[in-house]
Amino acid sequence: MVTTEGQQERNSIACTTESASKPVQQQQAMQSTSATESAVISEDATKSQAQHSQLIDNNGPDLVGFTNQVVNTLREWYVLASDSITNILEGRLMQQLPKDLWLLGRRYELAAVQQGDQGWTESSYPSGFVDDFSHLIWCTYRSQYPPIAPSAFTTDAGWGCMLRAGQTLLAQALQLHYFGRDWSFSWENSLDENMHKRKQYVEIVKQFFDDYSSTSVFSIHRMASFGKQFEGKDIGQWFGPYGTASIIRKLAQEANHELAVYTTTDGVVYLADICGKEFRPTLILVASMLGIDRVNPVYYPFIQASLTLPQSAGIAGGKPSSALYFAGFQGDELFYLDPHYTRPAITHHSNSTPYESVNLATYSCSTPRRIPLSRLDPCMVFGYYCGTLESLIDLRSRIDLLADDGMKTIMTFNSGHSPAVEGSHSSGYDSSVLSTQARSPDKNTVPISENAQKTGGESLIELLSSSDTDNSGIDVASGFESGHSNSSGHRSESSEVVLEGDAGDDGSNEEEWVTDM
């Protein structure tokens, strides 16, 4: 943190010195310029690009890259040490986790468990699981990018972790949109299908490059700028889960993206608002607060169940003061990607220069890490991708099944319009379709490994409760029954539902749920 703040201070001083050295006439001409807000931002972005080039020439990228490498290494040691100490204190080193592993709707099984000399359990993850995990798009802190106009920030280290976690969730939704669940590919394979996946993968990652390019639809620059414009957040200020979800929705709307984004903070999903006159592939973002200081244990089963759904795009949440992205679980521990690693920003290639594996290596991680549910911050955003109307119906069916079996869920579905838009337009669809098919999910849509496939008559409850107890020592069946407790701390803001295309919300009621580290 000290190194990052020092770097930001040096960048700020350098930019201020350069600005002060400009001729007085030029500054007066700039002050007299009258333009719209978008034109001003565009002008600031152009100047920031020039300032950025000058800063890199003066300071040298090698020194910045070396500093980032040292900070990343220190963080890696810190994470390993703190996790090991906590595991020792909680008695987890002697604890053997279940053999089942889940990753965004797909189930794997540990092939073997080896015993160490001291009796500590070391699990070797299946190669298919590691390959699947390594193809998750990992968005982290970046540095050495053009300043985010009108500020002098050339890195988001120290303040942008929740935005990066939101980007990571969105990136998985885009992979589901373009590839389905089978998104793995090889950089060396020259088969047409593999080449198509590789090309599309690059196009997805480019949407998160750190600049104002027209292809960088969801860049940190645009997210921070929209945060300032719509959420009242100064650039460099921490974002909460709901603010991040709201910005993603607005950016998708602004770009007329083929993926629609629907957000809700009270857990009610109004299906008529999503479908409209014609259904569009939609990412549903459900912002929730599942406790006060920690997640209420009654929600543990739903968090796990959510990550088994074929529509799951993951969860943007974290532990206190640090945002993380959760993609799967083993027992009572979630697999996560950590955005708190600073890497150099990737520059755009010309059309004649293709991107290779080495260019985008920092957007992937092949080392799964886990965190117990008991350490999570209660504020998080659940993401669900529905590419078709049938997939939306199936999602509702699965959530209803979980609730019917006694699980404490975070979301419900309403076949009509939200009160905010009731009667303002006709949806053009038959709401009875969503109602009559709500109890008939297609179990064959769950993309799990062949060894883990279940028969069509078994619910997700049966998949999760294959053992008598989970690893937190809470009986699964008892946990479902206790889900009716009202002491949840679930966040509800006057039934506020933010709709895709609703520009009336300014996000002013959002709390600072998750801060940065």
Q: Which residues are catalytic?
A: 161, 338, 340
Tell me the C-alpha distance between 447 and 104, whole Å. Answer: 9
Question: Within 10 A of 275 (CB to CB), how many other CB atoms are there?
Answer: 21
143 neighbors 344 (Cβ within 8 angstroms): yes
Q: What is the DSSP letter of 428?
A: -
Tell me the C-alpha distance between 282 and 452, whole Å. Answer: 28
Q: What is the DSSP letter of 345?
A: P
190 neighbors 199 (Cβ within 8 angstroms): no
Q: Across-strand partners of 295?
A: 291
Candidates 355, 306, 299; CA nearest to 169 is: 306
CA angle centred on 497, ends 136 and 445, rounded to 5°: 40
Tell me the C-alpha distance between 107 and 237, whole Å. Answer: 38
Q: Where are the beta strands (DSSP E) in 104-192?
A: 106-109, 113-115, 121-123, 142-143
| Burial status of residue 288 (CB atoms within 10 A of its CB: 0-12, 13-18, 19 or more) | buried
Question: Coil, strand, or helix at residue 380?
Answer: strand
Tell me the C-alpha distance between 128 and 355, whole Å. Answer: 25
Question: Coil, strand, or helix at residue 287?
Answer: strand
Candidates 372, 238, 359, 352; CA nearest to 304 is: 372
Q: Which long-range contacts (CB under 8 A, 24 or more apart) does 1-10 make?
A: 1/158, 1/517, 3/67, 3/70, 3/71, 4/71, 4/155, 4/157, 4/158, 4/342, 5/158, 7/64, 7/67, 7/143, 7/155, 7/157, 8/152, 8/153, 8/154, 8/155, 8/158, 8/236, 10/59
212 neighbors 47 (Cβ within 8 angstroms): no
Report the relative pairing of strands 260-264 and 268-270 from DSSP bridges: unpaired
